[in-house]
């Protein structure tokens, strides 16, 4: 019961270079958060489904080497992970192309082994998932997921939800809104942004995003603002926490994922929401100074609570 379970998808990543060559890696939003949580000495389990192929083996080996628990990963014979390709134009703008419709994780809540996944989630101290996680599943699977979250919360588990909205994952914005509203009612912590609120509801005003979460009676929230700051509310604290300016941003990939990891780790270690947000800003500010989602271990900033976390 003392671990964080991160639920989601990790895909094979191909990056196209100017000479037509490709480099291969892997990535996924909740996986990035799981990795940074593990580096911050938080016991973390990744919950997903993969194939029995060499790429899936490679992923699991890499996660294990980072200290991420891999006992809650289902392996589906004959299947392979989803794949995406990144192209970058001359201005630095990136385009993403996806091949993921038959990814094994989409079956996670429709398998004979689903019960063991549900048991792993219910046994966790905190369940972390994102809007991208929700977009992976059909209605039946989401209902089983929501039932699992309800059961977990009745047993004392907490649920953290990162809104991380990607329109391409949904049939339309109305369907996404309905699912998000159901998710808010099951969340103890929501990490949101005015950018996501703009895409979902057409308003980039922080007050509107904050008001929607308050109306849903979310106990604790972090709303990232248009400027380098966030609004935090919960545990008797309400404040706007500024981030230190970053003069040389190299790549914003995983900025939000790493912020979530540091925030959760700090709150777990006993820091209040404002101090936790400062820790999130520090880690995210370090991540954006490096290319790619995962920075070298040697570049990890010193966070005082990380050495004290159980």
Is 208 a known active-site residue?
A: no
Rounded distance between C-alpha atoms, residue 310 and residue 303, angstroms: 14
Neighbours of 190 (CB within 10 A): 24
Of the residues 147, 196, 257, 272, which is catalytic?
257
Q: Pick from 18, 32, 60, 41: which is nearest to 254 by CA?
A: 32
Sign of CA dihedral 226, 227, 231, 232: positive
Please classify residue 22 by burial: count the beta carbons closer than 10 Å to its beta carbon, then call 0-12 exposed, 13-18 middle and 19+ buried.
exposed
Q: Which residues are catalytic?
A: 257
């Amino acid at each position: 019961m003392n671990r964080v379970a991160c639920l989601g998808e990790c895909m094979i990543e191909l990056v196209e270079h100017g000479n037509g060559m490709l480099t291969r890696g892997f990535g996924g939003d909740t996986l990035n958060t799981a990795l940074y949580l593990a580096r911050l000495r938080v016991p973390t389990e990744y919950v997903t489904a993969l194939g029995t192929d060499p790429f899936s083996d490679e992923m699991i080996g890499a996660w294990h080497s980072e200290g991420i628990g891999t006992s809650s990963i289902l392996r589906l014979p004959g299947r392979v992970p989803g794949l995406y390709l990144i192209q970058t134009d001359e201005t630095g703008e990136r385009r993403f192309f996806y091949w993921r419709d038959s990814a094994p994780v989409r079956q996670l809540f429709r398998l004979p082994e689903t019960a063991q996944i549900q048991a792993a989630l219910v046994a966790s101290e905190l369940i972390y998932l994102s809007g991208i996680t929700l977009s992976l599943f059909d209605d039946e699977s989401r209902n089983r997921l929501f039932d699992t979250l309800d059961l977990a919360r009745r047993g004392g588990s907490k649920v953290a939800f990162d809104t991380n909205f990607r329109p391409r994952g949904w049939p339309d914005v109305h369907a996404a809104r309905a699912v998000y509203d159901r998710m808010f009612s099951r969340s103890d912590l929501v990490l949101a942004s005015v950018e996501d609120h703009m895409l979902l509801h057409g308003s980039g005003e922080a007050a509107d995003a904050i008001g929607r979460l308050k109306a849903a009676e979310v106990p604790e929230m972090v709303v990232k603002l248009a400027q380098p700051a966030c609004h935090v509310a919960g545990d008797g604290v309400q404040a706007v926490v500024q981030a230190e300016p970053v003069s040389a941003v190299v790549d914003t990939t995983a900025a939000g994922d790493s912020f979530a990891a540091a925030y959760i780790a700090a709150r777990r270690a006993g820091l209040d929401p404002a101090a936790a947000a400062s820790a999130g800003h520090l880690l995210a500010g370090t991540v954006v100074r490096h290319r790619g989602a995962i920075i070298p271990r040697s570049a990890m900033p010193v966070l005082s609570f990380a050495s004290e976390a159980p």
